[in-house]
Amino acid sequence: MTPWPKLDYAADKGTIETLHLLLQLIGKLPLRLHPWLNHGWHVALRITARGAQTRSMPASGRSFAVELDFLDGAIVVTCDRDPRAVLPVAGKTIADVHGELSALLAGLGLPAPLHGAPNEIPDPVPFARDRRAREWNADAARRLHGAFLRADRAFTEFRSLYCGKASPSQLFWGSLDLAVTRFSGRRAPVHPGGVPHLPDAVTREAYSHEVISAGFWPGGGGFDEAAFYAYTYSTPEAFREQKVEPPAAFWHLDLGEFILPYRAVSEAADPQAELQRFLHSTYDAGAALLQWPGGLTIAPPPVFGHPPDSA
């Protein structure tokens, strides 16, 4: 079994911040080129064998997609009528990448709505004016991609065991977290909003219905190491008191969610099984407290090649 990559937020922070901003830059494209899908799913990125990619987007009668290749340190534009175009990004400022990507898309005859600034980070600087030096460590980018791939595999398996509405495993570039979300089908109380540099209308639409969500992020935002998380919305007061698995998981009071450090998963004898324990136990606890309808889950293991018997 291939070991999970080691992550070190303190050592890799510079590269993580660079990746975050580049993902925000390409993530803005479907926001302006694709109809709004509920819960903002149209702007989320999917993890690929080499990085993270937008959904296919329409442009002047054509279609294209944009990927950040973590392994080669490049933005790749794939279009239905042109060879793929590659823009190296390692060692460049965000402003440089912004200008070069805008020119590349324009040269292909594609729209380039890359104006604006990052979301959900403190003191955002518009992309076109961000000339600060940016770190790119190829090994850090490779290890982070490996962690995202393994989390994506686990989240996809977890999603397959649910009969109700559930999101794909998808990367939200605002908060830089890979997430999978299950829904009960019931409306939720209006969300208070207040997410920094994110319109309240977006947050309230995202949480318009009850959810039990889990995800992975590489660190920052109140917990400075890579971790998995799980939460419910709305959140019963008793949720924090629930006993969940594995023992390394704990309730983070400030974040208002259960946390399982990435290190506890990556160093386990069977990391995938350890992570599934966390996903299933936090879901079970939340679903019981929120009194979700029964019959929505399928017993593991996942089924391949045909629908499960209980579908």
Both structure tokens of 47: 């993890």
* pLDDT for 1 beyond 80: no
> Is the pLDDT score of 311 beyond 60?
no
Residues 116 and 63 in one domain: yes
The pTM of the full predicted model, rounded to 2 decimals, is 0.96
265 within domain boundaries: yes
Residues 165 and 94 in one domain: no
- Assess whether 19 and 155 both reside in one domain: no
State the Cα–Cα distance between residues 228 and 172, nearest whole angstrom.
Answer: 14
Mean pLDDT of 74-101: 95
Closest CA to 13 of 175, 137, 179: 137
pLDDT at 298: 94
The mean per-residue pLDDT over the stretch 22-43 comes to 93
pLDDT, averaged across the chain: 95
Cα torsion at 82, 83, 84, 85 (round to 10°)?
-80
Return the closest-CA partner of residue 150 out of 3, 267, 27: 3
Could you read off the pLDDT of 110-168 as tens digits, one per residue? 887 888 999 999 999 999 999 999 999 999 999 999 999 999 999 999 999 999 999 99
One domain for residues 83 and 218: no
pLDDT for the residue 32: 85
Indicate if the alpha-carbon torsion angle 181, 182, 187, 192 is positive or negative.
negative
Point out the domain boundary residue: 129, 152, 177. Answer: 129
> Which domain range does residue 145 map to?
138-290
Domain termination residue (choose one: 129, 155, 179): 129
DSSP classification of residue 143: H
63 shares its domain with 185:
no
Same domain, 27 and 121: yes
Q: What is the DSSP secondary structure assignment for residue 158, as one 8-state letter?
A: H
Reported as a single tens digit per residue, the pLDDT across 36-78 is 999 999 999 999 999 999 999 998 888 999 999 999 999 999 9
Supply the pLDDT for residue 81: 83
Strand 257-261 with 51-53, pairing: unpaired
pLDDT for position 111: 80
| Same structural domain, 121 and 161 | no
- The per-residue pLDDT for 230 is 98
- 192 burial type by CB count under 10 A (0-12 exposed, 13-18 middle, 19+ buried): exposed
pLDDT tens by residue, 119-130: 999 999 999 999
Number of domains present in the structure of the chain: 2
Phi, psi of 110 (to 5 degrees): -110, 150
Alpha-carbon radius of gyration of the chain? 20
Lowest mean pLDDT among 95-99, 194-198, 210-214: 194-198
Greater confidence, 81 or 244?
Answer: 244
Question: Stretch 187-194: mean pLDDT, rounded?
Answer: 95
CB neighbours of 260 closer than 8 A, spacing ≥ 6?
A: 227, 228, 229, 230, 246, 248, 249, 275, 278
pLDDT band at 310 (very low <50, low <70, confident <90, very high): low
Mean pLDDT computed over 181-192: 96
Q: Same domain, yes or no, for 38 and 83? A: yes
Of residues 83 and 158, more confidently modeled: 158
As a whole number, mean pLDDT of residues 192-202 equals: 92
Q: Is residue 3 part of a domain?
A: no
